[in-house]
A = this chain, B = another copy of it.
């Protein structure tokens, strides 16, 4: 619900302009949901929003930029949804499962057409890429969720690993999303199975870092991650 994203592409000028923006993105989302991304033409979006084709391009630089709003909206809704489980549950595995399953629940209605534009997200130069500057807000929101997952849990980690963990968990979620995109099973049952299988594994692996020999590996993972970020 709440949009946590910072300023959209153009800074909001007048109230009327903002309303027009909303009308366009609203029409686009409805058409995307009904007919998919590719089948929805910019002309149809403009018509449905009651503006001309040129106006649509005045407010949104490209068809892809229309999806940015959906992105931010989903990430904000996820943030709100998981607040509940993060407030009550203390087990690390339960918290992580709640967060990952919550995302699947939220995204389920969009699965069919999400796949049709997730292709664009894979382009490093696309604004829809999870690593792009335009996605920074949604990314920060997501990493923060995983910071909370860790902070409120009973899991105890070495400081170095603990510091990198939220981002690693975000990476895990990206992996789940990737799996989800390819998952054609009913209700994305396979993705849910993946979550239920992989979370306990992560949990156990984390707790194994108490063993010196495993901790050594973990430290090297942290060192590698840090060296690659530079």
Question: Could you list which residues of chain A lie within 8 angstroms of chain B, going by C-beta atoms?
Answer: 115-116, 118-126, 129, 131, 181-182, 184, 190, 193-194, 197-198, 200-201, 204-205, 208, 211, 213-214, 217, 220-221, 223-224, 227-228
* Contacts known (A119-B119, A123-B119); A208 close to B201, Cβ less than 8 A: no
Most buried by B among A120, A123, A126, A194: A123
Which residue from B129, B193, B205 sits with its C-beta under 8 Å from A228?
Answer: B193
Interface majority SS (helix, strand, loop, mixed), chain A: helix
The interface residues of chain B lying within 8 Å CB-to-CB of A227 are 193, 197
Decide: B182 and A124 in contact? CB cutoff 8 A: yes
* Contacts known (A115-B125, A123-B119, A228-B190); A221 close to B208, Cβ less than 8 A: no
Q: How far is the CA of A213 from the CA of B211 in the complex (A)?
A: 10
Which residue from B116, B131, B204, B213 sits with its C-beta under 8 Å from A217?
Answer: B204
The interface residues of chain B lying within 8 Å CB-to-CB of A125 are 115-116
* Contacts known (A119-B119, A120-B119, A123-B119); A208 close to B214, Cβ less than 8 A: yes
A140 to chain B, nearest CB (A): 18
How many copies of this chain does one complex carry? 2
The interface residues of chain B lying within 8 Å CB-to-CB of A116 are 123, 125
Q: How far is the CA of A181 from the CA of B121 in the complex (A)?
A: 12
* Contacts known (A213-B208, A214-B214); A228 close to B121, Cβ less than 8 A: no
Identity of the chain B residue whose Cβ is nearest the Cβ of A124 in the assembled complex? B182
Decide: B119 and A126 in contact? CB cutoff 8 A: yes
The 4 closest A-B pairs by CB, nearest first: A122-B122, A119-B123, A197-B224, A124-B182
* Contacts known (A208-B214, A208-B217, A213-B211); A228 close to B122, Cβ less than 8 A: no
A196 to chain B, nearest CB (A): 9
Q: How far is the CA of A27 from the CA of B106 in the complex (A)?
A: 46
Which residue from B119, B194, B204 sits with its C-beta under 8 Å from A122?
Answer: B119
A26 to chain B, nearest CB (A): 26
A127 to chain B, nearest CB (A): 13
The interface residues of chain B lying within 8 Å CB-to-CB of A190 are 228
List 22 A-B residue pairs with CB atoms under 8 Å apart, sorted by A's residue number.
A115-B123, A115-B124, A115-B125, A116-B125, A118-B123, A119-B119, A119-B122, A119-B126, A121-B122, A122-B122, A124-B182, A129-B182, A190-B228, A193-B228, A197-B220, A197-B223, A197-B224, A197-B227, A201-B221, A204-B217, A208-B213, A208-B214
